[in-house]
Structures are given as C-alpha cells and as structure tokens.
Amino acid sequence: MKHRWLVMSLMLAFSGVSLFSAAGTLDIYVIDVEGGKAMIVQNPSGQSMMIDGGMGNARDLGRVVAVADELGIKQFDVFLITHYDVDHVGNVPSIYAKYPAKLLVDHGPLLPNPKLAPINRKAADAYVAFLPGKKRLTVKPGDRIPFKDVTISVVASNEAVLSKPLPGAGQPNSACPAVAPEAIRNDDNAASIGALWQFGKFRMGDFGDLLQWAEIKLMCPNNPIGAVDLFMVSHHGLDRSNHPALVHGLWPKAAIVNNGERKGVSPAVVQALRSSPGLQDVWQLHYSVTAGAELNPPEQFLANMKAQDCPGHYIKVSARRDGSFTVTNSRNNFSKTYK
C-alpha cells in the first residue's frame, strides 16, 4: 500500500499537480505583498491562475515566485488583472516573464475619466505596453472567466455591473442606504473586476478595489449575487470600499484582508465585518498598527505580525465541493474549517 502511494505521489509531482488538488480541493494562496494584492489559485484539474501581482518591486516578485515555485508552477493558465493600480499590476510583466500565462484577463481600456496618481499612471501604461502579442480577454458583467472546475461569474467590470441577478439571487438588500452616493470617478479602483466564484456548493466573492458607490450600484436595491461562504475583503480593508450593502448582503462565514501593517483595516470596515450576519472570523495578512489591538483579530488569524524583517507569510484556503473550506495561516499552521 505504501509503495502504491509513493508511486502515485511521484506521478503527481512530475505531472505538476499538487496532492491537495488531486484530492479535489480548490486551493487559494493569498500572498503577502504588504498591502497590495497577489493570489495564486489551483483547481483540481491542475490548472493555475495568478490574480494581480503586487507592486513592481523585487520584494513582492520574490514572494510570488516563492509560492509559485513551491507549487511547481511553470506557467499560468489564466492571469487575472483586477485593475491597473500599481499595487495590483506593477509586477504583472515580471511575473509573466517567469511564468508565461496562456490567457490574460482584464477590464479593458482605462476609462477617460480617471485622474490617476503618477505612479498608477506609469504602472497602467507599462501594462498596456506589455500587452501586444499576448492572448487577452476583456470581460464585462455577465461574462465568465474560463477556469476548469469553477464557475467564475463577472459581476462588475470597468464601472459597469450586472443588469440582472444570477440564478437564485435578486432578493431585496436591507443593508442598502436610503440615498445612493454620488459616483466618484477619479481613479481605476471603481473599474475593478468583481467576480463570484462557485466550486460545487462553495461560493467566494472577490471584488478587487471596487469603491463604495460602485458596490451600491451593484448590490442595491436588490442583491444580484446572494450569499457567499468566503469574502476577499475589498481594497485592503479601506473604508472607501466595503459598504455594508456589500458586506452584509454577501453574508460571509469568513473574510480575508490583504492589508499591510500600516495600510487598510479601517475601523468602519472592521465594524461592517463584525456586524455582518453569520460572520465567524476575519483573517489578515498583517497585524494592523492603524487599527490597534481592539480591532485586530486574535493572533492566530494574523499571517504576519511586523513589517520589519517580515518574512511574508501567506494565508491558504482549501475549498471543497460540499461547501466546506479550511483556512490555514502559514506562519503558525493554525487552521480552521468552516462547515
């Protein structure tokens, strides 16, 4: 029996498929890029997806490379770029150079209204200059992002949102404000790709850095998405995003924040998360100095405690088709399974 298991393990290793994927889980690695965004996803069929990539620096690139190499990745099947701010798109060309992607997915041309900060304009221009000769898919609400075993439904893109609810959704959202806020079109955050991930009964919501006015446009007066099991907290936990209409409307069991030690985790967002019906835990990539002791979760839910000499620990999610999922802190191997 041991011999058969060893042979199977070697076969899987040489095929580039992890043992966890072989067991039928959808594995999501939330990588610490100090308040940017970088995620690697592997499906049971052995495909891999890169989502954003952090700042255009050696530190963030090194952390992505460390996880990709640990997983035995040689190329990505899909590279999803939520939007073009530097803390998301800065490392995309460098990551692609090391792990070429079969398909790039993004929200399309910059809208004419953004007044980007120079550092974000430079990153956006560099991404556009990098595109020629590569296979690219520009998505709009209602589209699906191709990735085996998973249905990834685009619900927001380039300031547009779903025009009709997804199957089973569409109920009134009691967390909507009486008056919708005015659209603030001064950056590319509101153009972020937002998506619902469905893997069997498991559901995850990830909306990039979508701003509150766009969240309300998406979620009000009726919720077109329904409930999710896991919420990837928007915009690093900043209160320009994460309106209760989104957070409470999604009804998540757990939430993960891709914050930095001094970026993100606004008090208003902590309150929105903690008061969300059904929420059990918030996980963070960093202890937040700005939030303080009372607004940080217990230490076992924090991947990194200090930015100084920070090793860049990640958070891993392993989701199963029955809707259950396990979240693991790579710093201390603390895990919790949500039924």
Residue 307: per-residue pLDDT: 67
Q: How would you classify the pairing of strands 104-106 and 136-138?
A: parallel
Chain centre distance of CA 47: 17
Q: Using pLDDT thresholds of 50, 70 and 90, give the confidence band for residue 207.
A: very high
Per-residue confidence (pLDDT) for residue 262, from 0 to 100: 94
Percent of the chain with pLDDT over 90: 87
230-232 and 104-106 strand pairing: unpaired
The CATH code of the domain that includes 80 is 3.60.15.10
Do the domain assignments include residue 225?
yes
Which residue would you say has higher pLDDT here, 255 or 4? 255
- In this prediction, residue 3 has a pLDDT band, given cuts at 50, 70 and 90, of very low
Instruction: Over range 15-40, report the average pLDDT.
Output: 78
Higher pLDDT, 36 or 310: 36
Confidence class for position 1, pLDDT limits 50, 70, 90: very low
Average pLDDT over residues 22-29: 87
Instruction: Give the tens place of pLDDT for each residue, 216-264.
Output: 999 999 999 999 999 999 999 999 999 999 999 999 999 999 999 999 9
Residue 110: how many CA atoms within 13 Å on its side-chain side?
A: 21
Q: What is the pLDDT of residues 162-178, one digit of tens each?
A: 999 999 999 999 999 99
What is the pLDDT, as a whole number, of residue 23? 65
- Cα→Cα distances 160→52, 110, 136, 146, Å: 20, 13, 19, 20
Is 200 inside any structural domain?
yes
Residue 290 lies in a domain: yes
Whether 4 maps to a domain, the answer reads no
Q: Is the pLDDT of residue 92 over 70?
A: yes
CB 18 within 8 A of CB 27: yes
pLDDT at 62 over 80: yes
Instruction: Say if residue 6's pLDDT is above 70.
Output: no
Question: Which residues span the domain enclosing 149?
Answer: 20-333
Query: Is 109 inside any structural domain?
Result: yes
Is residue 10 situated within a structural domain?
no
Question: What is the pLDDT at residue 18?
Answer: 40
Q: DSSP assignment, residue 298? A: P
Q: How many CA atoms lie within 13 A of 44 on its CB side?
A: 13
**Measuring CA to CA, which residue among 260, 253, 215, 261 is closest to residue 234?**
215
Distance CA 16, CA 26 (A): 15
What digits encode the pLDDT tens for the residues 299-325?
A: 999 999 976 778 999 999 999 999 999
| 283: in domain | yes
**Is 9 a residue whose pLDDT tops 60?**
no
Tens-digit pLDDT profile for residues 105-158? 999 999 988 888 999 999 999 999 999 999 999 999 999 999 999 999 999 999
Domain count, the chain: 1
| 2 in a structural domain | no
pLDDT band at 197 (very low <50, low <70, confident <90, very high): very high
- Residue 146 is which amino acid? P
> How many beta carbons lie within 10 A of that of residue 34, not counting itself?
24
